Amino acid sequence: MFESVKEAFSRQSDYFDEYEEQNQILKWMRKVTRNHVSKYLRNKDSILELNAGTGLDAVYFAEKGNKIHCIDISEGMLNKLDEKIKSRNLVSSISYQVLSFTELDKLKNNSFDYIFSNFGGLNCIENLEDVFIHFNKILHPGGKVTLVIIPPICPWELALIFKGKFRTAFRRLHKNGITANVEGIQFTSYYHSVSKTIDALGQDFRIIDLQGLASLSPPPYMINFPKRLPNLYSLLTRCDEKLSHFFPFNRCADHFILTVEYNPKF
């Protein structure tokens, strides 16, 4: 089902960390996301990380005292994670498994306090229910889920209509997804609204936080913006951090961060 995605991100794994280190926007977005999660993650909570990639977040939270089981379909990404586990002596804190997030019934560990998915991994699937249907079987009552998802409306992209770039400006609005290209590999990417995501989670999940990520500040592919206009970029990120929990900034952004709590009705 995800063979193209698997191949694309395995190819990207060789320089994934280096690209982020050079991308000030991505580093800021990851910092904001970690701060968000840290508000709800308790010490010693067990975490399941979906689409864990090279383990940048897994290592961060493991070094804070949490145990994490990482899944990803890209063996290349998980090979990089394995190198980090060994070099940082985190064997007792991080485990991993080559697995799709639609196959959570095949997890080695099946009981968690927290589920985390960062930076649009879930935008690789059209029907979020195919993932969320497993959550109530593996998450403890009172457990939390944080999802970082790319929504259909991004102000910075819509503003491209003024430059005549209509295709890019409206690409997120395609109901049947768009063709993404990573390392020469094409696959379909889908954009999920906050309301669509909440509906897919179902009534057993209560919203406890919703935050926009890069609503007023530029998206990460504008990598040179902070270098060309550092003062403006600093101002925009500060404004983002102050307004990101308020409508419409918590829904219209490059990504949104949604945290819910699992409270089973029966």
The pTM assigned to this predicted structure is: 0.96
Please tell me the distance from the alpha carbon of residue 225 to that of residue 67, in angstroms, as a whole number.
Answer: 37
Residues 6+ apart with CB under 8 A from 167: none
In this predicted structure, which of 47-51, 126-130, 164-168 has the lowest mean pLDDT?
164-168
For 35-50, what is each residue's pLDDT tens digit?
Answer: 999 999 998 999 999 9
For 51-101, what is each residue's pLDDT tens digit?
Answer: 999 999 999 999 999 999 999 999 999 999 999 999 999 999 999 999 999
Please tell me the distance from the alpha carbon of residue 92 to that of residue 85, in angstroms, as a whole number.
Answer: 9
Q: How confident is the model at residue 235 (pLDDT cuts 50, 70, 90)?
A: very high
Taken in order of first residue, the domains within the chain and their CATH numbers are 3-262 (3.40.50.150)
